[in-house]
Structure 1
């Protein structure tokens, strides 16, 4: 039996404490890192100056600003930005076979195989405007569910409209009232009709 001080805090648990004691958690972490082939951090006894810290990856002393921000007590990651990025790419390659597969799985819950199947289901075109070879994955921002593959412009447009159906409907109404329309008045004869709203262009434009 260990006192509460012998456990790390975990706000997700009912008692607010981690399942394993600090010593057991450290041993499990070390064993897990060893199984995954992660080299232990290099620790140096040499002191560093104020505003600097030593990166255990490249073993160089660098300004704190060269370490990525984090939610840790120090506010920074333990590795400098180049080493941090390299470790992330190595992990993505080792666990997922590449960074693209990693990001697709982590953000959208699908892999490269599922991503490639979506355009085929859409006939190889953007699900909104029909532009060939769309490359941008669209998802519901509230549920996270994948909806389809869009071109750059349509994907950005839906993002700007914040998935609110009244916004594109309002945009259509606005365009109809401010854009010159090509209206069929006789078979093969069209007439340009002026918008119901809007100002005429400046003579200098």
Structure 2
């Protein structure tokens, strides 16, 4: 077969259900479906988890922060810092000062490799439907909005409930 004919040869795609072993040398070595592979090629195939871990190991904290802010909220660290300044370094709901927020109550998954997390006192609050960033919140306010499902009607009902309890003779 000529070189030109070889280039024109139709390659049948492999099914997505095909199992590929993640590289045992630089990855987990587990069998994963093609959809779970970041680099399914013949040279050192890596699953998504191992690929992300390897990428993170090459990055410093500033690069990781930039990547996380962009991936989750489509903002840069500079935009985050602008939000902080616009809110006078306070929570957008309760007004708690950023410097007074207890970082031990700030969430985040621990790093598997033992590195410490880069914790920030104010979380990015965003609309889960549109992805639009609304502002920055302290951990209790952020958790509160999440617990109410970002539903203004439920929050108004909670305010009415609390107001009624306070005004009632038994409260």
The bucket for the TM-score relative to the shorter chain is: 0.5 to 0.7
Q: Between Structure 1 and Structure 2, which shows a larger proportion of helix residues? A: 2
Aligned-pair Cα RMSD in Å: 3.8
> Runs (4+) of structure 1 moved beyond 4 Å?
74-78, 80-83
* Structure 1 CA distance for aligned equivalents of residues 53 and 131 of structure 2: 28
Answering whether residue 14 of structure 2 is matched by residue 6 of structure 1, we say no
| Change beyond 3 A, Cα 1:54–1:107 | closer
Q: Which string of whole-angstrom CA distances, capped at 9 and with x for unpartnered residues, describes residues 7-62 of structure 1? A: 759xxxxxxxxxxxxxxxxxxxxxxxxxxxxxxxxxxxxxxxxxxx56254388x5
Equivalent residue in structure 1 for 2:71, among 106, 118, 121: 106
Question: What is the Cα deviation at residue 151 of structure 1?
Answer: 0.3
How many residue pairs match? The answer is: 133
TM-score, length basis structure 1:
0.51
Q: Which string of whole-angstrom CA distances, capped at 9 and with x for unpartnered residues, describes residues 58-81 of structure 1? A: 388x5x3xx7x7xx4375674479
Say which structure, 1 or 2, has more relative contact order (CA 8 Å, 6+ apart): 2
Q: Between Structure 1 and Structure 2, which shows a larger proportion of strand residues? A: 1
Structure with max Cα Rg:
1
| Change beyond 3 A, Cα 1:80–1:107 | closer
2:34 match: secondary structure: coil
Answering whether residue 155 of structure 2 is matched by residue 168 of structure 1, we say yes
